[in-house]
Structure 1
Amino acid sequence: MSNSPSFAAVDLGASSGRVILGKISNEKIEYQEVHRFGNGPFERGDGLYWDIDSLKDNVMQGLAKLANSNILSIGVDSWAVDYGLIDKNGRLLRAPHHYRDERNTRGVEIANQKISQEDLYAQVGLQFLPFNTLYQLSVDQAEQSDLLNQSDKALLIPDLFNYWLCGTRLSERTNASTTGLLNPTSKNWNKGLIQSLGLQERLLAEIVNEGTYIGQITTEVQQLTGLNPKTQVVTVGSHDTASAFVAVPSTKPNSLFISSGTWSLLGVELEKPVLTEAARKANFTNEGGVDGRIRFLKNVTGLWLLQECIREWQATGGIHQIEPLISEARSIPKKSVIDVNDPRFISPGEMSSRIKQACRESGQQAPNTEAETVRVIIDSLVAKYMEVIGELEELTKLKLERIHVVGGGSQNELLNQLLADASGLEVFAGPVEATAVGNLLVQARAAGVISGSLEQMRGLVSRNFAIKAYSPQVTGEN
């Protein structure tokens, strides 16, 4: 790698995490993954949790590998909605609940007794998802109020890691926008809503923008990692999708962005939120993006179904690699389509059986082989994408002209080609590590290493990555 200034991106996903070394200049983006580790839920008697201690240990191990890299700063991004409760002494009082925990349904019931879905959307513009932070806090307030009373702050996952790194208790805006407690116009906490829900405003930390220096690493972190004690911690687009959108290699209007991973987030960037009743009924969300943009998008189940099936099949003792299965699925004709957002698919375990049952219940042919199951999943994702594209064009009055797919799903050639065929639009795939790249770019701009607008950063991405294009093919039924 070059001698350009160095930065560390901590990118925590729902199924894996990584620490990445990046070197950025006005002409070049270089990055190297230095540490990768698994992530996922673990169950104990009272619910589903994240193994936060393992995540923390792995982050420190990854940063220790950068001890001699002279990094200027560290930025952390992760999935949304989940939080850790810390007391005044900084002690974590409970492992963060996993967003797939069944307790969230009780939180929905509690919140719905205090505010209607119509009024809630008009105030926060957030897609209804039963695991949104406001529902998690509602069930905690109802069932574990003593724990909340002991807490000083409820820190979203990247904010929790920032606290561990530098000791500052703050909330970065893009991830705060996913809580269901932020005013999308003022971009501050909606105090009236928080009070009407019976939640404790004091638990929510002060909001700062991405690109804010929040402190140097603590003495403990310096001793654990060997990093320079002057290494800074800087906020990035800490919701991983916000960082991923930074690295979409597009400077043209009317582009659909898809961040494709465990979840698929499909949307466009707008200057102002869309808070209409039609948007609520279509279940679209207004989330904060870098540079004050609004990410108007829909969150749909993505590669989670495929990941769970692979995990299930591997547990049987066989060797199941996704690439050969997708290759085999390419030659299988389209037979059945399921609703990937069906609530039955939220929880882990026995995914292939649930897919088969969904097919039978809808009068369709159930898959008999693993490759057939893969084909059902991919065809179903394309069908959901097309549904969302139609809704998005109707709600925004935009005519989409191209599709950009970033993240792990950008490597799924069958999914990308079938999407191009179904939409009639060219699909551009990559970069795979868009989230980490976006994280690094925001750090580099904060350091003054690069400058310019979001579009200029995206132009830098387009000049540094090989983007694969998929053109629509008219081949009859796929």
Structure 2
Amino acid sequence: KQVVYNKTGIQFMNFNSLFQLYQMRCDGNLALQGANKVLFIPDTLSYLLTGKAVCEYTAASTSQLLNPTSKDLDTDLLASVGLRRDQFGPMTLPATRIGELTPDVQKLTGLGPVPVIAVAGHDTASAVAAVPAKDHRFAYLSSGTWSLMGIETPNAIINANSFAKNFTNEGGIEGTTRFLKNICGMWIYERCRKEWPEVQGLSHSELQCEAMQQEAFRSLINPDDALFANPASMVDAIRTYCLRTHQPVPEGHAAYCRCIFDSLALRYRQVFTWLKEFANFDIDVLHIIGGGSKNEYLDQFTANSCGVTVLAGPQEGTAIGNVMLQAKSSGDVADVWEMRRIIAQSIELKRFDPHDREAWDAAYERYLRITNTPMTH
């Protein structure tokens, strides 16, 4: 594992392309054996539109096949799954013009020779491109089913500490690296919500308002514990975790909801603390993007817990980043910082400043004891 991580800087997840291709090879997969070209999903769409096979950088970077130092696919890792570099297209950066719609597609759609642009094919890469930051001194939290918290760096951060804490280095735009950690996000809340028939008529805001009336920090969980990966019942998983850690079991849906939000904010603080150790700059602001940025209670909790100003928005970061990269390709914007200035001027950002620090500090110390994690100062 250490050798692969040193080559790629990518965290180990069972769905990484490296493992999928290895299993296909072990199974004697005929499609893989006969493949002339191997395309990632964004590249497949580009190929169907243009007839040109490329390898878009941000998508390739998450495969655990790309070396962030050479910024190309690693030939040793390709060989380990029985593949060669020439079976992949040329490495292509976001905002590159791939080609035009093929004559067949033009005829089928009634369109002319529309240009096809390689955007940041990995959705989080497009979303981070849309972070409306004014300078590099920011962290981001892409909040949805998953939460992804990270910083933007010029180079990959690969060392024993990043390996031990399971941080990942994914490709960003303009040659940057998205140094981040995956955190289980609103998945836990959504799964619980489906198990509560009594809340089906309630909106998210109504349910969350009820949760705010509950006692704070009464029960805490580690959202990234294996118990919460994909249990038959998420409510039962939380109950089990609380019993195992000698905590009171939440009583009613509002108490469960409060437990989830408190715990997510405290887990965010833990990862944010680690990010500050890795960053070679002071982090002045945390930008929350994605659908979860609409959850103002969790936005405020995150500011309180992390002790940093939170700016929430845009909600549709991936789509906005996609559009702006096409604008960059056409010459309408010069670089990512002009993109970000335009986005900041075009959307409403909500600001959340930290408060109740003493209570959140005490809760964080308790969270670390419960989750059996040494305190980091």
Normalised by the length of structure 1, the TM-score is 0.70
Q: Closer, same or farther in 2 for the Cα pair 1:156/1:317, shift >3 Å?
A: farther
Q: Closer, same or farther in 2 for the Cα pair 1:320/1:191, shift >3 Å?
A: farther
Determine whether 1:192 maps to 2:76.
yes
Q: Which residue of 2 aligns with 1:38?
A: none
Residue segments in structure 2 that go unaligned for 5+ positions in a row: 361-377
Letter in 1 for 2:206: P
Determine whether 1:287 maps to 2:170.
yes
Determine whether 1:207 maps to 2:91.
yes
What is the rounded CA distance, in whole Å, between the counterparts of 2:38 and 2:218 in structure 1?
46
Q: Which residue of 2 aligns with 1:461?
A: 343
Q: Closer, same or farther in 2 for the Cα pair 1:137/1:251, shift >3 Å?
A: same
Letter in 2 for 1:433: E
Contact 2:268 2:306 in 1 (8 A): no
Q: Which residue, out of 333, 336, 355, partners 1:473?
A: 355
Secondary structure class of the residue paired with 1:129: coil
Contact 1:247 1:437 in 2 (8 A): yes
What is the rounded CA distance, in whole Å, between the counterparts of 1:389 and 1:465 in structure 2?
25
Letter in 1 for 2:227: R
Q: Which residue, out of 270, 279, 295, partners 2:153?
A: 270
Q: Closer, same or farther in 2 for the Cα pair 1:122/1:431, shift >3 Å?
A: same
Cα offsets for 1:234-258 (capped at 9, x unmatched): 1101111111111111122321111
Secondary structure class of the residue paired with 2:321: helix
CA shift, 1:349, in A, is: 4.7
Cα offsets for 1:131-152 (capped at 9, x unmatched): 2221222222212433321334
Letter in 2 for 1:327: C
Determine whether 1:167 maps to 2:51.
yes
Contact 1:213 1:235 in 2 (8 A): yes
Secondary structure class of the residue paired with 2:170: strand
What is the rounded CA distance, in whole Å, between the counterparts of 2:266 and 2:199 in structure 1?
32
Contact 2:305 2:357 in 1 (8 A): no
Q: Which residue of 1 aligns with 2:271?
A: 388
Q: Which residue of 1 aligns with 2:306?
A: 423
Q: Which residue of 1 aligns with 2:368?
A: none
What is the rounded CA distance, in whole Å, between the counterparts of 1:258 and 1:476 in structure 2?
24
Q: Which residue of 2 aligns with 1:308?
A: 191
Residue segments in structure 1 that go unaligned for 5+ positions in a row: 1-116
Q: Which residue, out of 192, 215, 230, partners 1:347?
A: 230
Count of aligned positions:
359
Judging by fraction of residues, say which structure has more strand: 1
Q: Which residue, out of 165, 182, 192, partners 1:299?
A: 182
Q: Which residue, out of 333, 337, 345, partners 1:451?
A: 333
Q: Closer, same or farther in 2 for the Cα pair 1:342/1:143, shift >3 Å?
A: farther
Letter in 2 for 1:254: R
Normalised by the length of structure 2, the TM-score is 0.88
CA shift, 1:291, in A, is: 0.5
Q: Which residue, out of 325, 341, 357, partners 2:207?
A: 325
Q: Closer, same or farther in 2 for the Cα pair 1:199/1:313, shift >3 Å?
A: farther
Secondary structure class of the residue paired with 1:185: coil
Secondary structure class of the residue paired with 2:73: coil
Counting only pairs closer than 5 Å after superposition, residues 124-139 of structure 1 correspond to structure 2 as 124-139=8-23
What is the rounded CA distance, in whole Å, between the counterparts of 1:156 and 1:353 in structure 2?
38
Letter in 2 for 1:139: Q
Cα offsets for 1:226-277 (capped at 9, x unmatched): 4x23222211011111111111111223211111112111111111111111
Q: Closer, same or farther in 2 for the Cα pair 1:287/1:229, shift >3 Å?
A: same
What is the rounded CA distance, in whole Å, between the counterparts of 2:84 and 2:230 in structure 1?
29
Q: Which residue of 1 aligns with 2:131?
A: 248
Q: Which residue of 2 aligns with 1:360?
A: 243
Q: Closer, same or farther in 2 for the Cα pair 1:249/1:336, shift >3 Å?
A: same
Letter in 2 for 1:128: F
Identity rate, percent: 36
CA shift, 1:339, in A, is: 1.7
What is the rounded CA distance, in whole Å, between the counterparts of 1:351 and 1:224 in structure 2?
47
Q: Which residue of 2 aligns with 1:142?
A: 26
What is the rounded CA distance, in whole Å, between the counterparts of 1:303 and 1:415 in structure 2?
10
Contact 2:328 2:335 in 1 (8 A): no
What is the rounded CA distance, in whole Å, between the counterparts of 1:170 and 1:393 in structure 2?
36
CA shift, 1:177, in A, is: 0.5
Contact 1:270 1:296 in 2 (8 A): yes
What is the rounded CA distance, in whole Å, between the counterparts of 2:131 and 2:280 in structure 1?
22
Q: Closer, same or farther in 2 for the Cα pair 1:317/1:432, shift >3 Å?
A: closer
Letter in 2 for 1:424: G
Contact 2:106 2:113 in 1 (8 A): no
Letter in 2 for 1:272: N
Contact 1:137 1:199 in 2 (8 A): no
Contact 2:168 2:180 in 1 (8 A): yes
What is the rounded CA distance, in whole Å, between the counterparts of 2:37 and 2:288 in structure 1?
36
Letter in 2 for 1:241: T
Q: Which residue of 2 aligns with 1:183?
A: 67
Cα offsets for 1:72-95 (capped at 9, x unmatched): xxxxxxxxxxxxxxxxxxxxxxxx
Q: Closer, same or farther in 2 for the Cα pair 1:222/1:286, shift >3 Å?
A: same
CA shift, 1:321, in A, is: 3.1
CA shift, 1:225, in A, is: 4.5
What is the rounded CA distance, in whole Å, between the counterparts of 2:100 and 2:312 in structure 1?
37
Contact 1:310 1:320 in 2 (8 A): no
Contact 2:25 2:81 in 1 (8 A): no
Q: Closer, same or farther in 2 for the Cα pair 1:317/1:369, shift >3 Å?
A: closer
